[in-house]
Amino acid sequence: MGINRKFRKLLNAQLRDTTVGDIMEPEVVTINEDATFAQLYSLISEYHHLGYPVVNKENETTGVVSYKDLFRVKREDWNSIRVKERMSTRLVCVSPGDGVTEAAEKMTNAGIGRLLVMEDDRLVGIVSRSSIMDGAIKRLLF
C-alpha cells in the first residue's frame, strides 16, 4: 500500500533528520492486561487516546487495545471481559533512532494509527500519526 508520494515528499523535506525519539510521547499511558473493558472505557474517557499498550504484572508490553476493541464488546459485558481476552498481541514497533518517514510508512502498511517505541524490549514511548503531523507542521512554521 504505502504512503502517498506527496505526503512522503513533505515528510522527507520537513522531517529528514528527525527521529522517532525526537517526536514520540515518552509519557505512555498503559493498561494492565487484567483490567476490564469498563476500566478501559474510563481510561479512554480520561485521556482521550484511541489506543493503549497493554502490560502484564511485570510491566512487560504484551499487546495493544484500542477504542475499536471496546465497541466490539457488548456494554453489559464490560465488567467481566478482561483486556487480555480481546487485545491484539501483534506489536508493531519502532526504536527511538528510526526515521519519522519510515515510521509513517510502517503505520500505513500495518493499517494502524500509532506505533510502540521500544528500546531493548522496554516501552519508552509512543508515536502516532498526529504526532508526526505535528512535527511536520512545526518544522514548516518555525
pLDDT value, residue 126: 97
The mean predicted confidence, pLDDT, of the chain is 90
- Nearest 5°: phi and psi at 17? -100, 15
**pLDDT tens-digit profile of 53-109?**
999 999 999 999 999 999 999 999 999 999 999 999 999 999 999 998 899 889 999
Grid coordinates representing 3 are 504512503
State the DSSP H helix or E strand holding residue 133, giving kind and residue range, or none if neither. Answer: helix 129-141
- Output 142 or 45, whichever has higher pLDDT: 45
- pTM comes to 0.86
State the DSSP H helix or E strand holding residue 64, giving kind and residue range, or none if neither. Answer: strand 61-66
Instruction: Grade residue 5 by pLDDT with cuts at 50, 70 and 90.
Output: confident
Ranges of each domain in the chain: 5-141
Taking domain 5-141, whether its CATH number is 3.10.580.10 is answered by yes
